[in-house]
Structure 1
Amino acid sequence: MRIFVTGGAGFIGSNFVHHLLNKHTSDEIIVFDTLTYAGNLANLPSLSTTARLSFIQGDICDERSVLQALAGCDAIVHFAAETHVDRSLVETQNFIATNVQGTYVLLEAARKRHLQRFLYISTDEVYGNACSPAGVSRPSLESDSLRPLSPYAASKAGADTLAFSYWASYELPVTITRCSNNYGPYQYPEKQIPLFILNALEDRPLPIYGDGQHSRDWIHVYDHCAALDLLLHHTEGQPIAGEIFNIGAHQERSTLENATTILKVLEKPGEQISFVKDRLGHVRRHAVDTEKIYQQLGWQTQIPFDEGIKQTIDWYRNNTAWLADLKQKNNEFLQKALNLGL
């Protein structure tokens, strides 16, 4: 299979590329990435050693470039997106352009190229607070209404429903996934877990929004990639085109719990925790019901949080050159995030 991976130099995308290279020795992979602040070729060390992996620097909003790059491909796995809720509150236009317009361009190109599979990577953020139609808190189902609470979530919800419409209107073989919060290697350190790890290592405060009780389901990126692999290479059983699958780990934890765990593993004092003003539109609980993907594909997670967080802490502790390169770029938003608790 020849696979076109958008955003493949980012966090989840690069981990997925590593997964495919290791597991599917006949697959060819084209990474298409514009290399914004979160895209990093250092996330793809195999580029220089693996003939099956190639890279094209390009913008998913550029119709001509996308159509040309897709020549000969069998499938798209679409990760490319602006993803940080905090950034979406101050840079909303970028989120609409990349997440909605960019997805439209890819869908059109996939339709023209008659691709066999289009895997759209959405997010559990599209559900808003996890609850039943009656307002009772419970994990979100694929059939639940979308109630995004941030510009980021709204842009993903728009692209999510646009992708489904291409299945309904044109029978483009689209499959949509909505995953819970990821953690693991290569994650840009403005996000919660790597930010906490980096601040703990460097003896800075760990900023906790509001009361710290906002809850998320946390899945190791390796488990997420395994689920996506099953969907991408699915050939038997129930059809997956036109279907939506939740992906999660049933490991819900509060922001405060994560901060406390990281400080404990690193043997740092609890006094590094710093409560700060809550952010706008902050979802109280994200969690997804994963019964559908388990029943249809037999997928379930393999990495418990206690094990995964120690592996992740070790990765950041052992990859100082990778971190130093990011910090050298002196990204203003990242610097503000790292120093939020001061």
Structure 2
Amino acid sequence: AHLAATERSVAQADRQLNRLEARASMAFGMASTLTLVGVLLAVGWLVEQGVVGAPGAALALLVALAAMEPFAALRRGAVEAGRTWLSIQRLAPQVVQAPAAIEIKVTEPPPGCAVRLQQAAAQHRGSPHRALAAVDLQIPAGTQVALIGASGAGKSTLLSLIAGELPAVHGQVQAQPCTWLTQRTELFQDSLRDNLRLAQPGARDAQLWQALEDAGLAADVRALPQGLDTCLGEGGLGLSGGQARRLALARLLLHPAACWLLDEPTEGLDAATARDVLQRLRQQMHGHTVIVATHWRREAETADRLLWVEGGRLLAEARRGTTDFDKLLGRLREDAAVVAAPATAKGF
């Protein structure tokens, strides 16, 4: 009943706005017509009296036609003024009373260690509950670790804590400088070159082309008329989803950090593209610490350790070569082609 009442209120407001806009359009049209008619009559009389000639009369008519154009924007602005005022009332208190920035301290771990958490807990702003509770974790440098678990279990929060994007409300966080490939591909309305140089501002073109080659995007960029100078639209408009993901991968490869954080690196890609992206990542992983949060078996199967995250806690850990490792790996999603293959072999 409440939703129905709200729906009626919104519909009534829309009708009122439509009536206002219709009346404004009618008034604007009448004013434009009357102005043009008045100028036409005045110019006709002035020409008849010999005060102005034909060129002057034509100029006067053009001025009359153009004079109403600025008022068209004002008409639309008047209709939107109410919405603007409501937005100001809603946003202004948040701007004026913006919370103070929280200082995030992530210190360097001991030599040979990439990440060390000691009773680390994290809580998102505005939430009454902790997203991570008293996590103890140590990851040696050069190790490949997969964080697995259901959506909302705390995998991305753990990556945020390691990256220094989220403060620990309790405990200690130590981590090497990291570069983070998030679930969203963050590209900007700029050239391909400058999107890449966000990872390494002083990179030469040869380094950019090598990163694109390693990411499997060099051929696509060479096919563009302007190459590295090609301008992308907002959010990377102009690239397909797979190309945008490869560009983000090239930026990751350019970054000098020895610790990579990968959050669902192939989510949203078709199976063939995903496996190609993963193969290229694995070719460049040597010497890097890699921590990947995933639901996919293809992303976790080469990890040295699997960490099962649930309810903001590390509930299980398994190392490669153990039965527990195979059991945890079996909980993850597989590509459709991989799942279908055994059935086809049996003749089903």
Q: Which has the larger radius of gyration?
A: 2
More helix by share: 2
TM-score greater than 0.5 by the shorter chain: no
Q: Please, what TM-score do these two structures have when normalized by structure 1?
A: 0.21
